[in-house]
Amino acid sequence: MQIANSVALVTGGASGLGEATVRTLAGAGGRVMILDRPGSAGDALVAELGDGVAYAPADVIDEGQVAAAVAAAVERFGTVHAAINCAGVGIAMRTVTREGAHPLDLFTKVIQVNLIGTFNVIRLAATQMVKNTPNEEGERGVIVNTASVAAFDGQIGQAAYSASKGGVVGMTLPIARDLASLGIRVLTIAPGTFDTPMLAMAPEPLRQALAAQIPFPSRLGRPSEFAALVRHIMENVMLNGETIRLDGAIRMAPK
C-alpha cells in the first residue's frame, strides 16, 4: 500500500506511539484521522499538521463513537485504507496485595481497552475497508495492532496488561485469515521499552535502569522507530498475520 493519498485511522493518535505514527504517515503524504479520548491533544496536533489530519474524539470501547469516527474519516477523506491501533492503558498490581485481592474492575478495564477496544476498531474499520477498490495487489486495507513484549515476558504485577496484550497477539493470525479473502492484511507490533509520555513521568534513575536492560541499542525505543515499522508494514504487502517484536532483543526479567 502506498502511503501517499492513503487514509489511516490511528487510535491513541494524540500522544506517544500513536502521535509518532500520525506524524510519519502525514509526512509521507497520507491523510490521517486521529481517534483519541476527549480532552486529548488531538485538536492541537491537527492545528500543527494541517488539512491532511483530522480528529475524532472517541473511546475505543464505545461502539457508537468508533463507528462515528470511521464515518467521519470517510466523510472527510473518502474512505479508510489503514487502521493503526495504538490506544491502550496499563496498571501494575499483584494478584494478591496487602490490601487483598486484585480488584476485578481494574483487570476488566485493561482487558476492555487493550483487547476489546482493539477488536472493536478492527471490525468497524474492516467493514469500511471491504468497500475499497482493490489495488494492483488485490489489497483493500491494512490493520496494525499494538501489543507488547509483556505478552510474552510479563513481569510481576502485569497480569492484566499481559493478558490483554497476549489476547491481541492471539487474535492477529485468525483475524488475518478471516480477512485474507477480502484483501485486508492484519499485523501486530510488540514494542519493548519505549520513551512514551507514560514513561517520561518516571524518575531518571528508573529510566536509565530500564534502558540498561536492553541488549542493543542500550536505550529506550523512540516512538519514531515504532512509526517507521508501521510505515514499512503498510508498504510491504507480503507481511501478514505476524506479530513483530520491536525491542532491541530485550527479554523482560520477572521484575
The residues carrying an active-site annotation are: 161
Using a 10 angstrom Cβ sphere, with 0-12 exposed, 13-18 middle and 19 or more buried, the burial of residue 101 is exposed
| Amino acid in position 178 | D
SS3 at position 207: helix
Nearest Cα to Cα of residue 252 among 132, 136, 92: 92
Maximum separation of any 2 CA atoms in the chain, in Å: 60
Closest C-alpha among 183, 60, 70 to residue 119: 60
Question: How far is the CA of 241 from the CAs of 7, 137, 170, 172, 226, in angstroms?
Answer: 21, 17, 10, 6, 18
Closest among 217, 101, 16 to 34, alpha carbons compared: 16
Q: What is the DSSP string of 63-116?
A: HHHHHHHHHHHHHHHS---EEEE---------SEETTEEPPHHHHHHHHIIIII
